[in-house]
Structure 1
Amino acid sequence: MSHLFPTYNRWELELVSGKGTVVKDGEGRTYLDFISGIAVCNLGHSPEVVKEAVKEQLEKVWHVSNLFPITAQEEVGGLLTEHTDLEAVFFCNSGAEANEAAIKLAKKHTGKTKILTFKQSFHGRTFATMSATGQEKVHSGFGPLAPSFDYLPYNDESALEGIKGDEIAAIMVEIIQGEGGVIPGTTAFLKAVEAKCREWGALLIVDEVQTGIGRTGRPFAYQHHDLNPDIVTAAKGLGSGFPVGAMIGKEALTASFSPGTHGSTFGGNPLAMAAAKATLETIFVPSFLQEVEDKGAYFMKELKDKLSAHNVSIRGNGLMIGIGLESEAGGIITDLRENGLLTLPAGPKVIRLLPPLTVSREEIDQAVAKVEEALGKATAVV
């Protein structure tokens, strides 16, 4: 009998070690990891630069609480604001917490009560972020949700028309819906969302928990669309596996988060900041980001070329790619895993590929070949 709540459908393999893109299970089998801890291990497994930074911090102090100044918070905050053109950061421990902070800040700053999100969105599993998520399967069984959220169709500018903005505190949007199927937002749609925020005096919250920290070849994915958000949330790739999240916002919002309005015991602790600083100093280098963009374009082209005989759709940006199928993806994901390639679903009919940003082109080629083989086998069975 397990001592754990059964909240996860776990696979029957335990990963016990990893380096770069390659991980090993308890029986000694190796895999190409194109999950990266769900877009967390952006520098691959056990990156030396992060390991050394954390080891150095381990010899100093691990935790002091936010009763005290923590210089590393200012340093990591500076890296985040420098690469977002925003001015202030609140540190927490996860993407859900970052989005929770954004929801609280938007309501407090505007004095309004409603937040618009989108169908098939995913913003977290706390009560507020679950309520913000536009997926019935996430809501099911929890009774009445927080009453603050309305869900609109994604990528549909017309759905924004005719809405009275008097009570709208914010619109929260993903640049690419990750859990919702790896669906990229169009520039026209995202700009229309921004325009409505300005018209209504609402805040534009961009959820970059999965798309941020270099995943698409820019520091943040909204930068592909020339948006000017009021709040950006980040987590997953921020700490190379250390639990850390961040809400980044405009200076005008700082007065609304005065002492006592929000907090986090562990948020921004010295160990997490050491990991985040080393991660950002590596990823937020123009040549590194350009390489991510180039590898993403190469990956997308190879998938489209090699899978052209199969009735699939290839979509995404950078190294966040979805393969849309006509049938259920679960069997193919299992076959890929048995053949040494770890992938994950994004809804029932999408294979999601999230390799480390450090993945090599040779590893991309190996992954494409494995996907081509798995789809071929699935077609043969049909």
Structure 2
Amino acid sequence: MAIIKDLGELYLAQNYKRFPVAFVRGKGSRLWDEEGREYLDFCAGIAVCTLGHAPEPVVSAIKEQAEKLLHVSNLYWTEPQARLAEILVENSFGERVFFCNSGAEAVEAALKLARRWSYLNHGPGKTQMVALENSFHGRTYGALSATGQPVYWEGFEPLVPDFVHVPPNDREALREAVNESTCAVILEPVLGEGGVIPLSREFLLEARSLCDRYQALLIFDEIQTGIGRTGHLFAYEHYGIVPDIMCLAKGLAGGLPLGAILAKEKVMSALTPGSHASTFGGNPVACAAAVAVMKIVLSEGFLEEVRLKGQALRKRLSALAEEFPDKVSGVRGLGLLLGLEVRIPAGDVVQALFERRVLATAPKTEVIRFSPPLTVAYREIDAVYEILREILKS
């Protein structure tokens, strides 16, 4: 670890607060560091490694595609991109797909699409975007402006104008914010970086109703919740509420960088040649990996098993709340995206987990987030529960 860490300290930008470990190999829910020590990964690259580390079907797809074609740009058609678009459309509300490389890029594309659609259909002036306080949509300027956490704005203002933020699940505040000048409302069905906060169905229904009333577009940021993470392919299926645009990334390609937005034909048609683009978006290798991921996630019984594993993890975490009410206040989230609400510093618990070779994250000081691979074993859920219980007892 010393050599890799030393090189990183010497040459990399110091914008990450990294744990003192260098990983060199992974398989399933396990990682191994440079010195051969084994870790249990309940972070999954922040909900990226959908099928765990080095899943054979995905690795094989990557190898096969890499030997045939790495890149040709979007001036031409490629089979992996077309096949992946077909799978996404046939299994969602969407009718068209735009590919990019990351979640932030997907959000940027969605915001641009919303404003251009509004301009083409309603003329100039209808530009306001409504987002949520405590939300997170990415680090680029449009995505950062949508992000409702001022801590991320410091030193980067002025941001993109015409963004308004309202508290999550506050229907009255949403009604006051959305008006004739609104072109889009952007929401995460579960606020991931905001502390694993699920939005209520009533709030999402209100958002849908307001967008319909004022001819605005409803954007769901499913970057963290999509591709089976919540127990359904997409989180909007939990609520029975369909957005106009959906952003995807993270788990889509199982570990390779790939983002996408899905929309109905009448909305996506606003992206005409020259209006938006991405050189690497829909790269053949990343799309081949994503096709392999999607085939497994959509296979018979897979999502049902994710829901069962989510219930098992929730049950274990809820048991901790019952046993340690002075330290744990509850559990929230959907599927295998769960947050343990704690009355003690979450960072201390995450550090204690790390020292016991378990990886988790603390998006907020009072929340520990668990987002293991969707292929996590029940015995691994039990193991993390026992380690957490030992930490809380101490």
Q: Distance in 2 between matches of 1:286 and 1:156?
A: 38
> What SS does structure 1 have at the residue aligned with 2:322?
coil
Deviation at 1:143, TM superposition (A): 2.1
Partner SS state of residue 52, structure 2: coil
Does residue 53 (structure 1) correspond to residue 57 (structure 2)? The answer is no
* Structural mapping, 1:129-144, within 5 Å: 129-144=143-158
User: 2:123 is matched with which residue?
Assistant: none
Quick check: 1:6 aligned with 2:14? Answer: yes
Tell me, yes or no, if structure 1 residue 146 matches structure 2 residue 160: yes
Give the aligned partner of residue 367 of structure 1. 384
Aligned position for 2:200? 186
Counterparts of 1:331 and 1:276, CA distance in 2: 36
CA distance in structure 1 between the aligned counterparts of 2:194 and 2:177, rounded to whole angstroms: 24
Matches of 1:268 and 1:115, distance apart in 2: 27
CA distance in 2, matches of 1:33, 1:251: 39
3-state SS of the aligned residue for 1:206? strand
Taking structure 1 as the reference length, the TM-score comes to 0.97
Structure 1 gap ranges (5+): 378-382
Report the secondary structure of 2:25's partner residue.
Answer: strand
Deviates more, 1:300-309 or 1:176-185: 300-309
Q: How far is the alpha carbon of 1:306 from its aligned partner?
A: 3.7
Q: Could you tell me how far 1:119 is from its partner in structure 2?
A: 0.3
Q: Select the residue among 355, 367, 375 that pairs with 1:358.
A: 375
Amino acid at match of 2:46: I
Which of the residues 67, 70, 77 maps onto 2:78? Answer: 70
CA contact (8 A) 2:98 2:261 kept: yes
Q: Which residue of 2 aligns with 1:328?
A: 345
| Residues 22 and 31, structure 1, Cα contact 8 Å, conserved in 2 | yes
* Selected match of 1:35 from 43, 46, 57: 43
Shift of 1:81: 1.2
Q: Which amino acid aligns with 1:179?
A: E
For residues 144 and 268 of structure 2, the distance between their equivalents in structure 1, rounded to whole angstroms, comes to 26
Q: How much does 1:255 deviate?
A: 2.2
| Secondary structure at the counterpart of residue 11 of structure 2 | coil
Say if 2:310 is the partner of 1:296.
yes
Q: Does 1:345 align with 2:362?
A: yes
Q: CA deviation at 1:40?
A: 0.3
On the 8 A contact 2:81/2:288 being kept in 1, the answer is no
SS at 1:346 equivalent: strand
1:193 counterpart letter in structure 2: A
Task: Choose the corresponding residue for 1:113, options 92, 103, 127.
Answer: 127
Partner of 2:6: none
* Residue in structure 1 matching 2:174, options 157, 160, 176: 160
Letter in 1 for 2:371: L
| Aligned residues: CA RMSD | 1.0
Q: Indicate which of 98, 101, 104 corresponds to 1:96.
A: 104
In structure 1, how many angstroms separate the alpha carbons of the residues matched to 2:12 and 2:38? 27
Asked if structure 1 preserves the Cα contact closer than 8 Å seen for 2:135 and 2:149, the reply is: yes
Residue among 17, 24, 30 paired with 1:16: 24
Could you tell me which residue of structure 2 aligns to residue 263 of structure 1?
277
- Which of 144, 169, 174 aligns to 2:183? It is 169
Contact 1:233–1:246 (8 Å) recurs in 2: yes
The letter of the residue matching 1:219 is L
